[in-house]
Amino acid sequence: MKKKIAIACVAAAVLASGIARAHDDDDRWDRREAVHEFVTLPAGVRFPEGITANPRTGEIYVATFDFGPNKNKLLRYSRHGKLIAERGFGGTPLLGLALDREDRKVYIANVATLTGVPSLGASRIQRIAADFNSATPIEEVVAIPSIGAPASRFNGNPDGSTDKIKFGSNGAPAPNAMAFDSQGGLYVSDSFQGAIFRVANAAGCVPTCTATTVVHDPLLATAGFPPFGANGLALSRDGKTLFVVNTGDDRVLNVDLATKVVSVFAESINGADGVAFDDEGRLWVAANQNDEVAALNRNGRVIARLGEFRGIDRDGAPKGLLFPASLVIVDDWMYVTNLALPLTGATGDEPEEEVKLWTVSRVRIPSR
């Protein structure tokens, strides 16, 4: 009897070891502790949202989405997290960033219209030299046109009924994310108008250039939460498909750029926000309401989840991820902005209310 028990114990130990090893292998695809702080923003600088990088120098650029006089900054960090420069943008909140193909200019989505202050100007795309300092001039690229809301959307239900979603007609232009194509064209998502615009030859643009409408579709608008429709953008490697996040609908969409047909690529990414492809073709999505980043395969299936919210430290900075908004990939590293923006208005309901210092995180991308 003792021998049988011993054999059974050895077998159980071997089985447990095998299970643990399998779980260890899986951990690289579901590592919640994999996220580490990259930088803490300067005191008084809040709500980091947009992010991009210069792959040649490794420098990281961060933009803030704040409201109030002299609140917003564009920050420039070295690859090691040293603050090199900051450029003030006054009271105009900033969203997405993109670097041009020559690594010379940083493009900025300025959503001044959302402030309701006419003197701050209209929502527009601006740019600045990649090696900017506090006095470098900001160039105007293009104003985002006001085209209104898209047509109503009809959603079918399992019982055969249909719901109609009618979008407000006075949506303010809200340029959110950007992506360059191989011809130097700049795609811009508009979260409130449910649209994608394109600026041809963006590098040669002056303030008189125009943004043309690529697609204006009800799938790009939302009645959900957070109240942002078309958001993060990423182009397929062949340049034929534009992947677009709809944050409020928790979806990743794709746009066939030849036919302009919009379709659903992935569902149930809670607060899907910024997106980027890695070198292995996985599409990484910042899930701002799940405090994680998720990787999708070519079929839109989630194959990896990294990060989680791990509380607020003694200095008031979030540990892990808190409302991750945008991401950028440089070599084997992913950099993620922790927007940490309270949205519900319910006092005491959100950990974002406790944040006193805002951060950018980074995580090493797992290999296959």
- DSSP letter string over 311-351? EE-TTSPEEE-SSEEEEEEETTEEEEEE-----S--TTS-G
Output the CA torsion sign for 15, 20, 21, 26: positive
Residue ranges of the chain with pLDDT lower than 50? Answer: 1-29
Distances (CA, A) of 342 to 137, 174, 225, 231, 354: 32, 19, 13, 19, 9
Number of Cβ within a 10 Å radius of residue 86: 18
pLDDT given for residue 49 in this prediction? 98
pLDDT given for residue 168 in this prediction? 83
Number of Cβ within a 10 Å radius of residue 154: 10
pLDDT given for residue 23 in this prediction? 32
Query: pLDDT by residue (tens digit) across 303-358?
Result: 999 999 999 999 999 999 999 999 999 999 999 999 999 987 767 789 999 999 99
Domain 34-155+162-364 has CATH 2.120.10.30: yes
150 CB-near residues (< 8 Å, 6+ apart): 167, 193, 194, 195, 216, 217, 218, 220, 221
Domain ranges of the chain: 1-30, 34-155+162-364
pLDDT given for residue 1 in this prediction? 40
3-class SS letters over 307-318: CCEEEECCCCCE
pLDDT given for residue 204 in this prediction? 85
* Pairs from 66-74 (Cβ < 8 Å, separation ≥ 24): 66/93, 67/91, 67/93, 67/115, 71/46, 73/42, 73/45, 74/106, 74/108, 74/128, 74/132
Q: Give the integer Cα–Cα distance in Å for 78 and 83.
A: 7
pLDDT given for residue 31 in this prediction? 67
Helix residue ranges per DSSP H, the chain: 2-27
